[in-house]
Structure 1
Amino acid sequence: MLIAGAALISTTGVLVRYADVPPTVSGFWRMAFGGLMLMGFLVLSRQWRPARWRDWWWMLFPAAFFAADLFLWHRSILSVGPGLATLLANFQVFLMALAGVWLHGERLGPRYLGGLVLAFAGLWLLVGMDWGAFSPEYRVGVALGLLTGVAYAAYMLSFRHAQRERSALPPAQLLAMSSLLCAGALGLVALGEGVSFAIPDMGSLSALLALGLVGQCLGWVLIARAMPQLKTSVVGLVLLLQPSLAFVQDVVLFQRSTLPLEWLGVVVSLAGIFLGTLKAASTTREVVVEAGVSTKPSGPAADTSPQQRPGE
Structure 2
Amino acid sequence: MTESSVATPAGVVREVSMRDAIVQMAIGAALISSTSLFVVYAQAAPTVSAFYRMFFGGGMLLAWVAMSGGWRPMTWRDLTLAVLPAIGLAADLIQWHRSILWVGPGVATLLTNFQVFLMALVGLTFYRERPARWFVPGVMLAMIGLWLLVGAHWSVFDAQHRLGVWLGLGSGLAYTVYLLSFRHALKTYPHLSPAQFLGLMSLLCALLLWVCGLGEGDSFVLHGVRSWSALLALGFFGQVLGWLLMVRAMPRLPASLVGLLLLLQPALAFVLDVILLGRPTGAGDWIGFVLALAGILFGAWRPRRSA
Please give the TM-score of this superposition, normalised by the length of structure 2.
0.90
Greater helix content: 2
What's 1:298 paired with?
Answer: none
Percent of aligned positions that are identical: 53
- Report matched runs for 1:141-290 at 5 Å: 141-279=164-302
Whether the 8 Å CA contact 2:256–2:302 is kept in 1: the answer is no
2:69 matched to 1:46?
yes
What's 2:162 paired with?
Answer: 139
Which amino acid in the other structure matches residue 39 of structure 1? L
Q: Structure 1: how far apart are the matches of 2:181 and 2:206? A: 17
Whether the 8 Å CA contact 1:3–1:238 is kept in 2: the answer is yes
Q: Deviations over 1:35-75 (max 9, x none)?
A: 00001111111211001112101101100110000000000
Q: What runs of 5+ residues in structure 2 fail to find an aligned partner? A: 1-23
Q: Deviations over 1:205-247 (max 9, x none)?
A: 0000001101111011111111111111111111111101100
Cα 1:229–1:109 change in 2 (3 A) is closer
What's 1:305 paired with?
Answer: none
Whether the 8 Å CA contact 2:256–2:303 is kept in 1: the answer is no
What's 1:9 paired with?
Answer: 32
Please give the TM-score of this superposition, normalised by the length of structure 1.
0.88
Which amino acid in the other structure matches residue 102 of structure 2? S
Q: Structure 2: how far apart are the matches of 1:74 and 1:281? A: 35
What's 2:102 paired with?
Answer: 79
Q: Deviations over 1:73-99 (max 9, x none)?
A: 000001000000000000000011111
Deviation at 1:106, TM superposition (A): 2.3
Whether the 8 Å CA contact 1:24–1:190 is kept in 2: the answer is yes
State the superposition RMSD in angstroms.
1.5
Q: Structure 2: how far apart are the matches of 1:145 and 1:80? A: 9
Q: Structure 2: how far apart are the matches of 1:180 and 1:51? A: 13
Deviation at 1:280, TM superposition (A): 10
Deviation at 1:165, TM superposition (A): 1.6
SS of the aligned residue for 2:301 comes to helix
Cα 1:282–1:191 change in 2 (3 A) is farther
Q: Deviations over 1:256-303 (max 9, x none)?
A: 1011011000000000000111149988x6xxxxxxxxxxxxxxxxxx
How many corresponding residue pairs?
284
Deviation at 1:254, TM superposition (A): 1.1
Deviation at 1:136, TM superposition (A): 0.7
Deviation at 1:33, TM superposition (A): 0.3
What's 1:125 paired with?
Answer: 148
Q: Structure 2: how far apart are the matches of 1:153 and 1:179? A: 16
Q: Greater shift after overlay, 224-233 or 265-274? A: 224-233
Q: Structure 2: how far apart are the matches of 1:122 and 1:258? A: 14
Which amino acid in the other structure matches residue 117 of structure 1? M
Which amino acid in the other structure matches residue 127 of structure 2? H
Q: What runs of 5+ residues in structure 1 fail to find an aligned partner? A: 286-312
Deviation at 1:107, TM superposition (A): 2.7
Larger Rg: 2
